[in-house]
Amino acid sequence: MEFGHYLQINLASLPYFIPELILVGTLLLLIIVDLVLKDKPSAGWLSLIALSGVIIALIAVIGQYDLGTRSLFNGVLVLDHFSLFFKVLFLAAAALAILFTMASIELAGRPVGEYYTLLITLVLGMFLMAASTNLIMIYISIELVSITSFVLAAYIKRATRSSEAGLKYAIYGAFSSGLMLYGFSWLYGLTGTLDLYQLARSLSEVASQNPLAIFLSVLFILAGFGYKIAAVPFHFWAPDVYEGAPTPMTAFFSVGPKAAGFALLIRFFVSGMAQPSLVESSMWQAIGDIHWPQLLAVISAATMTLGNLIALVQNNVKRLLAYSSIAHAGYALMGTVVLTQEGYFATLFYLVAYYLMNMGAFLVVIVFQDLIGSEKIDDYRGLGYRAPIAAIAMGIFLFSLTGLPPTVGFIGKFYLFAALIKAGEAYYWLAIVGVLNSVISLYYYVKIMKYMFLDRPAEEKAGALPVTLSMNLMLVVLMVPIILFGLYWAPLQEFTRNSIQFFTGTF
């Protein structure tokens, strides 16, 4: 009887699960087509299937916007605007990653069937991460993303650095999810529930008795989340993985799983560890006296400072961008410490800006890697004369990463700082740290520009580089919105502001 009831709820949830089902269909189709076309050249077909699967899923996700918020599958997943925002972001990142893979020569000639299958699986895992409201589901979705990323990082089997990237990713990943799991087990013991909304309710009773135990379990749980967003002190894997993994995958890792980590972190803390403030409706407050906002503030400051300082001394562009992406995780975390709608809006807006500029910067790395076979900053000497479009594009991406107007990176940073200042004096120090860090970051971003534009290329290799049309086209497609949203960001702002809508529980 009861079983029938649960089954009915599950079946009724299926119509709201269509984008995920489309992804599952796509990955099954990829496996089958890969098997059927075993000995024939199939890379084009497989890329096409993967890309069209992603696009169809994107259309389905956009169609879900007017379905309202609801809980799915007996309270394991939710459908709300917050999760839809991230799903759009993931699919956009996946589409670009597929296009990068098609255009790059790094993976040309390798079997891509498994590659795309794993990529789509990863996207599915990120979808679940953005929507899960149950600790079991959170753990499984994180593992789904992690395990597929390990394989993708180590995809070039013969290359030592790719295998090494996979190994480091796997060991740090398994370790941090072990810590997170231990934290979950304590939280479960303290509250007797795995559901985030019930967790919030029973925490308000338990928190005063056992604040230390809850704080410790939050510390353990942050190990798992921090690993996903590459926050200090769980960032050690990032530079090695970003440098060793195939570059299209690096671009994807630096945006997709990081955004998924932010989705999970925000949802976990808002739904499970905070309650709507009684004073003002657009604010939350931490349940009990658990000091997790302060903890996030410290992590944010440490993450951006450390990322920026180590980026100063890098001479490999991929590695430099890895440290810069650590620093950007720190910036984006600034929005999550103030517990206001303004703050979460700023974080989400910044993630979109970061998606555009970071994907762009990695695309330029791919272009130059294909043409000059190097990712050392020294070898970027004079590229402004040899490949002007790509170099100018890199300039815009780097200006946006620094946060200079008129780029979308500036607007994103502006909202982050504004949210911190608006929330009161408690976090002025964090805003100051953030501004100082932006200044530091200017040095290493401009260093790349200096090598490209102010230094002349060596005589023997001064010829123009044959950048392909598709590469130039993608560069322009990424460059235009960065400038456009830097000048007129109202549509993006509206889209993001609509996304700060959480499912608030049914019980």
Check binding of 495 to another protein (CB under 8 A).
no
Distance CA 52, CA 234 (A): 35
Binding mask 231-260 for another protein (x = CB under 8 A): --------xx--xx----------------
- DSSP for 382-442 reads THHHHSHHHHHHHHHHHHHHHT-TTSHHHHHHHHHHHHHHHT-GGGHHHHHHHHHHHHHHH
Instruction: Figure out which of the listed residues 37, 55, 62, 181 binds another protein, where binding follows CB under 8 A.
Output: 181
Distance CA 343, CA 38 (A): 50
Q: Which is nearer to another protein, 136 or 426 (CB)?
A: 136
Q: Which of residues 306-365 bind another protein (CB under 8 A)?
A: 314-316, 319
Check binding of 147 to another protein (CB under 8 A).
yes
Distance CA 446, CA 264 (A): 34
Number of chain residues interacting with another protein (CB under 8 A): 46
Q: How far is the CB of 475 from another protein (least distance, A)?
A: 27
Check binding of 9 to another protein (CB under 8 A).
no
Instruction: Determine contact, residues 234/227, Cβ cutoff 8 Å.
Output: yes
Check binding of 175 to another protein (CB under 8 A).
yes
Instruction: Figure out which of the listed residues 73, 86, 115, 184 binds another protein, where binding follows CB under 8 A.
Output: 184
Which part of the chain contacts another protein (CB under 8 A), choosing from 49-57, 64-72, 170-178, 472-480? 170-178
Distance CA 422, CA 425 (A): 8
Torsion angles phi and psi, residue 37, rounded to 5: -90, 35
Q: Which is nearer to another protein, 243 or 342 (CB)?
A: 243
Check binding of 392 to another protein (CB under 8 A).
no
Check binding of 188 to another protein (CB under 8 A).
yes
Torsion angles phi and psi, residue 195, rounded to 5: -85, 135
Instruction: Figure out which of the listed residues 13, 31, 62, 139 binds another protein, where binding follows CB under 8 A.
Output: 139
Check binding of 414 to another protein (CB under 8 A).
no
Q: Which residues pair with 483 in a beta bridge?
A: none
Distance CA 192, CA 176 (A): 23
Instruction: Figure out which of the listed residues 1, 41, 66, 157 binds another protein, where binding follows CB under 8 A.
Output: 157
3-state SS string over 46-86? HHHHHHHHHHHHHHHHHHHHHHCCEEECCCCEEECHHHHHH
Check binding of 394 to another protein (CB under 8 A).
no
- How far are the Cα atoms of 54, 64, 246, 368, 494 from residue 60, in angstroms, in the given order? 10, 6, 30, 36, 21
- How far are the Cα atoms of 185, 256, 320 from residue 9, in angstroms, in the given order? 27, 31, 49
Q: Which of residues 109-138 bind another protein (CB under 8 A)?
A: 135-136
- Site residues for another protein per CB under 8 A: 135-136, 139-140, 143, 146-147, 150-151, 154, 157-158, 160-161, 163-168, 170-171, 173-175, 177-179, 181-182, 184-186, 188-189, 192-194, 239-240, 243-244, 314-316, 319
